[in-house]
Amino acid sequence: MNLVSTLHKSNSFYLFLCHHYPKNMSKQKKQNTTKYAGSAFAVILAALLSYFPISKQLDEKEVVNEPPKQEITVENNGQQNTDINFQEASQKTEVNHSSTQTSQVEEVINTTELELPAKLKDRSEKILKRSNYTASYNRNWNMPNWVAWEVNRNETRGKNKRNDEFTADTDLPKANQVQSFDYSGSGYDRGHMCPAGDNHFSSQAMDECFYMSNMCPQHHELNTGKWNDLEIACRRWANRYGEVFIVCGPIVNKQKSKKIGKEHDILVPEQFFKVILITSTKPARAIGYIFDNNGSDRPYKTYTVDEVEKITGMDFFHNLPDNIENIVESRYELQDWKWYN
């Protein structure tokens, strides 16, 4: 009901009171009735006039205070912003795709396969899935291209002791089932890629980490020295930060690499690589190492993940959001990765 209509009806009510009282009413009563009707009309009119501007102000406030609609997107303008972290990028990407449930959103927030490198196209590769690691096996080399796993603070301890039962991997063809005795007298250790120390939490995981498909010929001083020290440091980081994503493997020069083996030819790597990613820090961080396969006191150098990718021809941590991957793989802060004496 608008103001004009209300005033019109109120005026009609006033006229009704003034002109339709009984004819035999005394003059004094008529005057009182007219007086009361006029007062009532004045009260109604004042109330309506006072209400109208308040209602208008309320309407205006509601319009002014209505929050503007915003669209949140994840952008990469080529700037290396070290304040970006993994959790924030995942949340932004999820908001950006919230209107449709797509597999891309699931891949962004899925950290269970974050450690897996991209598929290799330039060499033999057979993927071997284990309970605590994944291996890409090269049947021409008779050792892995890479081994990848995630270690968290719950997996750094357990009751299952190292069993030292090196076993042929029956998931491989017979011609590629390297035996423990193939290393005998070679001068090289059966060097773990995924170490026994990361598998104490499960008897199955401990058994699987001793498959020969998880081994590479490794110099004894490297195997028991700095390589082992870095394995211990990864478990320490897992305890501190919650979880660590790791990929490691051999670097082979096909022209120079020698071979060992009694029944199976196994290439001896000149070097080993290891790349490490931590996503729970702010910002996320990653680093790469390359170790010479010898007995030197300082057999390794540090690299960015991008640099290790160029050396190995592999694509690490490709399941990260692109804006995060571009940042963490292009830099490292040595002070964040103190593990050596």
pLDDT digits over 233-283, tens only?
999 999 999 999 999 999 998 778 899 999 999 999 999 999 999 999 888
Tell whether 138 and 257 lie within a shared domain: yes
The predicted structure's pLDDT at residue 42: 57
Question: Do the beta carbons of residue 189 and residue 219 sit within 8 Å?
Answer: yes
Tell whether 125 and 56 lie within a shared domain: no
Exposed/middle/buried for 278, CB within 10 Å: 0-12, 13-18, 19+? Answer: buried
In a domain, 72, yes or no: no
- Report how far residue 213's alpha carbon sits from residue 228's, in angstroms, rounded to the nearest whole number: 19
In a domain, 77, yes or no: no
Tell whether 113 and 46 lie within a shared domain: no
Tell whether 139 and 245 lie within a shared domain: yes
Tell whether 56 and 119 lie within a shared domain: no
Confidence of residue 44 (pLDDT cuts 50, 70, 90): low
Tell whether 111 and 7 lie within a shared domain: no
Mean pLDDT of 149-174: 94
Write down the pTM of the prediction.
0.69
Please give the residue that has the higher pLDDT: either 3 or 191.
191
Mean pLDDT of 111-138: 95
Locate the DSSP E strands across the chain: 126-129, 134-138, 143-152, 189-192, 215-218, 243-251, 259-260, 266-267, 271-278, 285-292, 300-303
Tell whether 223 and 319 lie within a shared domain: yes
Tell whether 123 and 249 lie within a shared domain: yes
- Report how far residue 144's alpha carbon sits from residue 120's, in angstroms, rounded to the nearest whole number: 12
Distance of CA 142 to the CA centre of its chain: 33
Half-sphere exposure of 50 (CA within 13 A, CB side): 6
In a domain, 203, yes or no: yes
Tell whether 218 and 310 lie within a shared domain: yes
The CATH code of the domain that includes 115 is 3.40.570.10
- Find where tokens 């503007």 sit: 68
Closest CA to 144 of 284, 300, 310, 314: 314
Tell whether 144 and 288 lie within a shared domain: yes
In a domain, 79, yes or no: no
The predicted structure's pLDDT at residue 255: 78
- Cα–Cα distances (Å) from 22 to 30, 33, 185, in that order, read 9, 11, 132
pLDDT digit string (tens) for 165-184? 999 999 999 999 999 999 99
**Catalytic: which of 19, 192, 200, 264?**
192
Q: How many domains does the chain have?
A: 2
Mean pLDDT of 8-34: 48
- Report how far residue 300's alpha carbon sits from residue 222's, in angstroms, rounded to the nearest whole number: 10
**Helices 3-19 & 27-64 angle (0-180, nearest 10):** 170
Tell whether 56 and 90 lie within a shared domain: no
Exposure class string for 123-146: b at 16+ Cβ within 10 A, else e: eebbebebebbbbbbbeebbbbbb
Distance of CA 36 to the CA centre of its chain: 78
In a domain, 60, yes or no: yes
Question: Do the beta carbons of residue 40 and residue 48 sit within 8 Å?
Answer: no
- Find where tokens 């912003």 sit: 81
In a domain, 81, yes or no: no
DSSP class per residue in 299-325: -EEEE-HHHHHHHHT---STTS-HHHH
Q: Please, where are the H alpha helices in 126-254?
A: 203-208, 220-224, 226-241
Tell whether 33 and 128 lie within a shared domain: no
Residues of the domain holding 53: 3-64
In a domain, 21, yes or no: yes
Mean pLDDT of 42-51: 53
Closest CA to 231 of 218, 244, 212: 244
In a domain, 185, yes or no: yes
Question: Do the beta carbons of residue 285 and residue 162 sit within 8 Å?
Answer: no
19 is catalytic: no
| Single-letter amino acid, residue 123 | R
12, pLDDT greater than 70: no
Q: What percent of the chain has pLDDT over 90?
A: 60
- Report how far residue 42's alpha carbon sits from residue 47's, in angstroms, rounded to the nearest whole number: 9
User: Of the given ranges (35-39, 185-189, 207-211, 299-303), which has the lowest mean pLDDT?
Assistant: 35-39
